[in-house]
Amino acid sequence: MKNIIKISIFIIIIFIVAVFFMGLNKDTNYNTNVLTGKKISNISLEYFDENKFYKEEDLKKNNYTLINFWAAWCAPCRKEHPLLMQLSKEKNLKLLGVNFKDKKKQAEIFLNNLGNPYDFLTKDELGKSSVKFGIFGIPESILINKDLMILKKFVGPLSAEDYDSIVEIIN
């Protein structure tokens, strides 16, 4: 009887360890390929300084839009900011900034000090809108076309390679 209990406990421990390690290999939260080709919908983001909302119709006016989720308190956001400033010069691309869970004053200081690359600036004070976009952390960016199709999602700060990829897609 004691042997059966020991074997059962051993099998349970092996099962738990196996499930744990299998879970480590299946991180679908950051698998951005599953989003490519999907359409975004039901967009309603409150403008940063106005009591109006940025909606789907607004996005459809742009050939390409890079939706960038950022915050003043986010060090990686500061790191990617020079690339966003460069991207703001691209004629075929509009930048939509979504200020994520930030204090308005801090966000204003951040943009005044580093420059404002955004054509449109919105806010997500509670983080609820960002969840609808599949955002798990910041910075994250989503490149869409005027049909609201996700062309690419970027997790983490944009890199020089990401910049090149965006420019290649929009030109």
pLDDT, residue 27, reads 46
In a domain? residue 156: yes
pLDDT tens readout for residues 118-154: 999 999 998 888 888 888 889 999 999 999 999 999 9
Catalytic residues, by residue number, are 74, 77
Chain mean position to CA 84: 14
Dihedral sign, Cα of residue 73, residue 78, residue 79, residue 81: positive
Nearest to 144 by CA among 136, 153, 135: 153
- Comparing 2-11, 22-31, 34-43, 112-121, the range with the smallest average pLDDT is 22-31
pLDDT, residue 19, reads 65
Q: Which residue has the tokens 């009591």?
A: 51
Q: What is the average pLDDT value for the chain, to the nearest integer? A: 88
In a domain? residue 76: yes
Which range marks the domain in which residue 124 is found?
Answer: 33-170
Cα 81 from Cα 136, distance rounded (Å): 19
pLDDT, residue 144, reads 96
Burial of 118 (0-12, 13-18, 19+ CB in 10 A): buried
CATH number, domain containing residue 140: 3.40.30.10
Query: Bridge partners of 143?
Result: 66, 152
In a domain? residue 6: no
Nearest to 124 by CA among 54, 30, 27, 32: 54
Percentage of the chain lying above the pLDDT 90 cut: 58
